[in-house]
Chain A
Amino acid sequence: DAGVIQSPRHEVTEMGQEVTLRCKPISGHDYLFWYRQTMMRGLELLIYFNNNVPIDDSGMPEDRFSAKMPNASFSTLKIQPSEPRDSAVYFCASSLIGQPQHFGDGTRLSIL
């Protein structure tokens, strides 16, 4: 069975550039989560969707971050403009209600 698929696996870009991270959840899952992992702050929930609708975006750090889920099989996390402090590993996860979350392998983002 295909798991959660994230792309790209690695992204290196210069400060000020737009960055788009992509996620394909497990088919049939109705919850999708975006997390950020850093040494300093650990794993932080940024936003989550239920049935393609954003439910809680209180973890989104600032207006430079935005997330969309245009359909049940695709979500994006966008940073515009990017800053060096955005460097982190970003994870996408999906689940059914009441069931554990399944994580993708993450996108390692480096902003120079």
Chain B
Amino acid sequence: AQSVTQLGSHVSVSEGALVLLRCNYSSSVPPYLFWYVQYPNQGLQLLLKYTSAATLVKGINGFEAEFKKSETSFHLTKPSAHMSDAAEYFCAVSDGNGNKLVFGAGTILRVKS
């Protein structure tokens, strides 16, 4: 069975500071990993995905994530936070065909001015 753990249900950073959202996964098969963002009253939007190619994945809005098999981690980072980054972020894992996503509990990112 696959599972995802997101460390920290709430993260608060200052505008311009580094954003680091943590995700650890468990999977019995080589995983596909995803980060999604959800703005209030909207659906989930894909930020980036890892599908066994490069371990450092670049996504939209300046976000990137690094797949570390030895640590079973897929942390999301952004060098400089903007106010518009305030949202809820979800890490998800799936089996090799990319279906049946299992989501983490989500991390709400707050950006302080």
Total A residues in contact with B, Cβ cutoff 8 Å: 22
For A92, the closest partner residue in chain B by CB is B43
For B43, the closest partner residue in chain A by CB is A103
Stretch in A40-48, A60-68, A76-84 touching the partner:
A40-48
In the complex, are the beta carbons of B100 and A45 less than 8 A apart? yes
In the complex, are the beta carbons of A103 and B44 less than 8 A apart? yes
Chain A contact residues: helix, strand, loop or mixed: strand
In the complex, are the beta carbons of A48 and B98 less than 8 A apart? no
**Could you mark each residue 44-62 of chain A with 1 if its beta carbon is under 8 Å from any beta carbon of chain B, else 0?**
0100100000001000000
Q: How large is the interface on B (under 10, 10 to 19, 20 to 34, 35 or more residues)?
A: 20 to 34
Could you tell me the distance between the alpha carbons of A99 and B46 in the complex, rounded to whole angstroms?
Answer: 11
Is B11 part of the contact surface with A, judged by Cβ < 8 Å? no
Could you tell me the distance between the alpha carbons of A101 and B43 in the complex, rounded to whole angstroms?
Answer: 11
Contacts A4-B43, A100-B34 given; does A31 touch B99 at CB 8 Å: yes
Is A75 part of the contact surface with B, judged by Cβ < 8 Å? no
In the complex, are the beta carbons of B49 and A100 less than 8 A apart? yes
For A103, the closest partner residue in chain B by CB is B43
> B97, B99, B101 — which one has the most chain A CB atoms within 10 A of its CB?
B99
Could you tell me the distance between the alpha carbons of A47 and B42 in the complex, rounded to whole angstroms?
Answer: 21
Could you tell me the distance between the alpha carbons of A105 and B42 in the complex, rounded to whole angstroms?
Answer: 5
Is B67 part of the contact surface with A, judged by Cβ < 8 Å? no
Is A104 part of the contact surface with B, judged by Cβ < 8 Å? yes
In the complex, are the beta carbons of A42 and B97 less than 8 A apart? no
Could you tell me the distance between the alpha carbons of A101 and B101 in the complex, rounded to whole angstroms?
Answer: 9
In the complex, are the beta carbons of B44 and A97 less than 8 A apart? no
The 7 closest A-B pairs by CB, nearest first: A103-B43, A43-B103, A98-B98, A103-B44, A105-B43, A100-B46, A42-B105
Q: What are 23 A-B contacts defined by CB distance under 8 Å?
A: A4-B43, A33-B101, A42-B104, A42-B105, A42-B106, A43-B103, A43-B106, A45-B100, A45-B102, A56-B100, A93-B44, A95-B99, A97-B98, A98-B97, A98-B98, A100-B34, A100-B98, A101-B46, A102-B46, A103-B36, A103-B43, A106-B42, A106-B43
